[in-house]
Amino acid sequence: MPPSYNFNDFKHACNDENLVIPSKHAIENAETIFNLKTKKMLLYFISNDGLEELDFINTKPWEMNPDPDTVVMIDAYEFKSMNILGYIAFFYSERTNKWIIKSFKLSINRNMMMYLALKKAGLCNDEKIGGCNE
């Protein structure tokens, strides 16, 4: 199944902080893993091609959608940055007319050497970063 959204539309929206809402976990992971300390830094990173070697993974219905009568699709991608393999999942909310960054974290396909080094240094753990892609 192809992506539900045009990635360039999402990327362009990241130029305006009022159009994109990162989840709490996405913000926490952006800081912990990628040293992006604020929402503004995260959105700037995305809008200015920080997601290198972007690779579409899948699109699927949002499992935790509070309105089961409305299907909301989530697109997921892997990317590289600073030799780290990351994962981003997002969707567009027709109700709010905003993009939602559901996940921003390490990919399950990540470099295990890097992950173990970060974990040993106390910079991440599976509770903070998510143990698997959603």
Domain span at 104: 7-127
- DSSP symbols for the chain: ---SS-HHHHHHHTTSTTTEEE-HHHHHHHHHHH---SHHHHHHHHHTT-SEEEEEEEEEE-TT-S-TTS--EEEEEEEEETTEEEEEEEEEETTTTEEEEEEEEE-TTS-HHHHHHHHHTTS--HHHH-SS--
CATH code for the domain of 33 = 3.30.2310
- Residue 78 domain flag: yes
Predicted TM-score (pTM) of this structure: 0.81
pLDDT tens, per residue, the chain with 134 residues = 899 999 999 999 999 999 999 999 999 999 999 999 999 999 999 999 999 999 999 999 999 888 888 899 999 999 998 878 899 999 999 989 999 999 999 888 755 566 666 667 776 655 444 443 34
Report the number of distinct structural domains present in the chain. Answer: 1
